[in-house]
Chains A and B, each alone.
Chain A
Amino acid sequence: MSLKPRVLIVDDNAANRTAFSAVLEKDFDVVVVESGEAAVRICRDQTFAVIVLDVRMPGMDGFDTAEALRKAEETRETPILFTSAYDQSMAQMTRGYVAGATDFLFSPVEADLLKLKVSTYAQIYLRHEALRIRVRQLNESLEALHAELARRGLASTRLRFRIRDLENAALELRRQTSTVPE
């Protein structure tokens, strides 16, 4: 696993892809795709800390893509940052949030703002991911402890059986010695 958080850029515009990559490459492990379909596909077997998603694309647009990503287990909680040349109309924003956007960036996208936003969301994602890993580890420890307790329970039972057998044997021997014919 790379040390830099992974960021997926989804944009049908080559100039945007190049510009965004250039801004983010230093701090993030950047992967670029050209369509919503490709984004959904790549997210099936790769995880990302942040997805930068263009709203207006041919085929699956940003909204469709966000909806599809939100339905998949792997990307249910990945922050999605919409980039859009659209004017900041409330209807668009609302639709975006409903589709699963975490935030919006409007064109022309300011390089520093893009960096700040992606860093903030990557941090949120990584913090949650660390907590999820901790939960998984704790569950594993619990399972191991349960197994250990069960194993010891069994061992104790075996010891108790042995004690009972020995007690019986001792009793039997006592009876024999006391009834030995004179």
Chain B
Amino acid sequence: MTPQPAKPRVLIVDDTAANRYAFQSVLDDDYTVYIAGSGRRALELARVEEFAVILLDVRMPEMDGFDTAEALRKIEKIRFTPIIFTSAYDKTLGQLTRGYVAGATDFLFSPVDADLLKLKVATYVQIFLRNESLRLQIHQLNVTLQSLQTELARRVPTELGLKARIRELEELVTELNRQAVGAPF
């Protein structure tokens, strides 16, 4: 797990260069923007980098947004990343349902409003970061827990050693007592 930088990583996946530039220019100030021109490229990037949000074009040649989302959802690093579909499609429920099933978290419809894009991305980045901070906390707690358990396991033999030493000494004292009592006066 690589925690997000101060400017969280956002991946834009779109086969249209004009869209990529438009989205990037809106998000550049607040996020570390990564660009993929195809679903395949998006998958490559998602295998190396953890993203706080992925903006995914629905209609692309070869792998479309649905296929890409499905494949992305299988990558461990992307399990918790919100995917926002951007679409020139009409808002038919069939499309929406298919998107949600594929793993979409939300939709943005063309023409994408710059302010709305910013607000949506901000909302989902926040959700992601909250999730990430909880996962980090759990990770750290597990590390601490493990070190304490090791410490505890280390103490058991020490205790046994101390107890053995006590038994030894008790026998010695008994023996010495016997000798002292039995000694001729």
User: Could you list which residues of chain A lie within 8 angstroms of chain B, going by C-beta atoms?
Assistant: 77, 90, 93-94, 97, 102-103, 110, 112-113, 116, 119-120, 124, 127-128, 131-132, 134-135, 138-139, 141-142, 145-146, 148-149, 152, 155-156, 159-160, 162-163, 166-167, 169-170, 173-174, 176-177, 180-181
Contacts and interface: CB of A to CB of B under 8 A. Distances in A.
Contact of B159 (A138, A148, A155): A155
Nearest to B134: A131
Contact of A146 (B115, B148, B180): B148
B67 to A, nearest CB: 20
Contacts of B105: 120, 124
Interface residues of B, number: 46
A176 B185 CA distance: 12
Contacts of A174: 176
Contacts of A152: 152, 155, 159
10 contacts: A90-B113, A97-B122, A112-B97, A116-B100, A120-B100, A131-B131, A131-B135, A145-B148, A148-B152, A156-B162
A88 B138 CA distance: 40
A165 to B, nearest CB: 9
Interface in B134-183: 134-135, 137-138, 141-142, 144-145, 148-149, 151-152, 155, 158-159, 162-163, 165-166, 169-170, 172-173, 176-177, 179-180, 183
Interface string B102-123: 0001100000010110010011
Given A94-B115, A160-B162, A102 B145 contact: no
B127 A166 contact: no
Contacts of A102: 123, 127
Contact of B106 (A103, A110, A112, A139): A103
